């Protein structure tokens, strides 16, 4: 098979073919990278994958539920991107070199996720967001008192949609909670992506989901002062975090189908039911009706809750995230 002859032939009938490959560089790069280890047997699949990506389902009609899930994910990625980007540009935060490097990696991952999601959504993507789209102090651009006073350190009171961050501990805690919310959002959204025509999109979302979980693990180890520290937090969600969350919940901004009080480790709606249609809090130890703490002779009394992360329904994610929008009616709808 002469791949380049085929592409030349296509160019005769579709002058845009090179642009298609170029504008979807990921597809082409994947193919070239794959070529290093490609075998004769795999070549037809590799070629068809290249063409599928260049001409793929991305510009076609995506199911509305898929568009909704991906656009919510995209908004969360923007929220995180600008959060980390602001931190990296906040001299008063006093990040160490190691912390800076970690957050550069994380911020850049979020940028890649934004680009990946926009590429998948095509013309269905929301308009790009900016730093000014967000107010991390939860004052919703000075229209209310911040719901959690320490968050004022994430932008100040004068111009909270552009202000620098000033308190590292607050920054790290909120970072952890943003990323854990993101993990729960992707987890809750996955079933809506599981249609016969969107399996590639499902896999892409799963592949972002796990990267977000890696981020959470890293932020948590930074919070406890490094991997050799035995203080809290652990790199996974422990039951006491749900209890702490319950003492300082966030309002739901009037979002229907979300609990009145919401939080990154609290339950969504409904809290009970089958695994794909229930959103328990992060203390949950019952999975598909089975007790996952009391079986197996677990030494740790919290392992069962830790071993399973919980999803959140989209409305509860929106209810949480609107607290960090400059204009809550404009985002996370």
Site string for another protein, 183-202 (x = CB under 8 A): x--xx--xx--x----xx-x
Under rule CB under 8 A, how many of the chain's residues touch another protein? 94
Please count the helices (runs of H) and the strands (runs of E) in the chain.
11, 4
Nearer to another protein, 49 or 333 (CB): 49
Q: Which of 73, 76, 79, 102 binds another protein (CB under 8 A)?
A: 102
Q: Which of 23, 101, 254, 272 binds another protein (CB under 8 A)?
A: 101
Does 227 bind another protein (CB under 8 A)? Our answer is yes
Q: What residues between 30 and 49 interact with another protein by CB under 8 A?
A: 41-42, 44-49
Between CA 209 and CA 203 the distance in angstroms is: 10
Does 12 bind another protein (CB under 8 A)? Our answer is yes
Binding piece for another protein, criterion CB under 8 A, among 101-109, 243-251, 259-267, 325-333: 101-109
Does 256 bind another protein (CB under 8 A)? Our answer is no
Binding piece for another protein, criterion CB under 8 A, among 67-75, 168-176, 206-214, 314-322: 206-214
Query: Could you tell me the two tokens for 64?
Result: 């509305």
Binding piece for another protein, criterion CB under 8 A, among 165-173, 204-212, 240-248, 261-269: 204-212
Does 236 bind another protein (CB under 8 A)? Our answer is yes
Nearer to another protein, 41 or 247 (CB): 41
Does 318 bind another protein (CB under 8 A)? Our answer is no
Dump the DSSP string for 103-163. Answer: HHHHHHHHHHHHHHHHHHHGGGSPPPP-GGGB-TTSSTTTTS--SSGGGGGBT-SS-TTTP
Query: Could you tell me the two tokens for 108?
Result: 């850049």
Helix, strand, or coil here: 172?
helix
Q: Which of 108, 145, 157, 272 binds another protein (CB under 8 A)?
A: 108
Q: Which of 8, 23, 89, 143 binds another protein (CB under 8 A)?
A: 89
Q: Which residues contact 82 (CB under 8 A, 6 or more apart)?
A: 129, 130, 131, 133, 134
Residue 239 CB coordination number (10 Å):
18
Between CA 118 and CA 102 the distance in angstroms is: 24
Site string for another protein, 271-300 (x = CB under 8 A): ---xxx----------xx-x-xx-xxxxxx
What DSSP state is assigned to residue 167? -
Helix, strand, or coil here: 325?
strand
Binding piece for another protein, criterion CB under 8 A, among 62-70, 81-89, 149-157, 261-269: 81-89
Please report how close the Cβ of residue 86 comes to another protein at its closest, in angstroms: 9
Q: Which residues contact 220 (CB under 8 A, 6 or more apart)?
A: 176, 233, 234, 235, 236
């Amino acid at each position: 098979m002469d791949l380049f002859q085929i592409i030349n032939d296509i160019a005769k009938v579709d002058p845009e073919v090179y642009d298609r490959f170029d504008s979807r560089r990921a597809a082409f790069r994947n193919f070239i990278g794959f070529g290093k280890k490609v075998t004769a047997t795999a070549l037809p699949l590799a070629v068809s994958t290249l063409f599928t990506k260049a001409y793929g389902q991305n510009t076609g009609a995506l199911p509305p539920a898929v568009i909704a899930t991906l656009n919510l994910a995209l908004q969360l990625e923007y929220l995180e991107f600008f959060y980390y980007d602001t931190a990296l540009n906040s001299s008063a935060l006093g990040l160490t070199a190691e912390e800076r490097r970690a957050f550069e990696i994380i911020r850049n991952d979020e940028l890649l996720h934004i680009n990946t999601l926009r590429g998948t959504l095509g013309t269905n993507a929301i308009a790009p967001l900016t730093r000014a789209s967000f107010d991390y102090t939860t004052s919703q651009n000075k229209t209310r008192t911040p719901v959690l006073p320490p968050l004022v350190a994430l932008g100040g009171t004068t111009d909270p949609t552009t202000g620098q961050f000033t308190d590292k501990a607050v920054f790290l805690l909120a970072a952890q909670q943003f990323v854990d919310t993101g993990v729960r959002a992707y987890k809750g959204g996955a079933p809506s992506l599981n249609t016969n025509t969107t399996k590639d999109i499902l896999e892409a979302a799963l592949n972002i989901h796990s990267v977000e979980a890696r981020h959470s693990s890293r932020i948590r180890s930074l919070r406890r002062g490094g991997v050799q520290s035995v203080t809290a937090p652990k790199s996974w969600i422990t039951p006491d975090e749900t209890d702490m969350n319950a003492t300082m919940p966030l309002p739901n901004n009037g979002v229907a189908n979300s609990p009145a009080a919401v939080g990154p480790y609290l339950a969504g709606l409904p809290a009970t039911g089958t695994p794909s249609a229930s959103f328990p809090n992060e203390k949950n130890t019952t999975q598909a009706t089975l007790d996952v703490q009391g079986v197996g002779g677990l030494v740790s009394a919290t392992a069962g809750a830790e071993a399973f992360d919980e999803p959140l329904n989209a409305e509860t994610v929106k209810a949480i995230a609107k607290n960090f929008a400059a204009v809550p009616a404009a985002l996370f709808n």
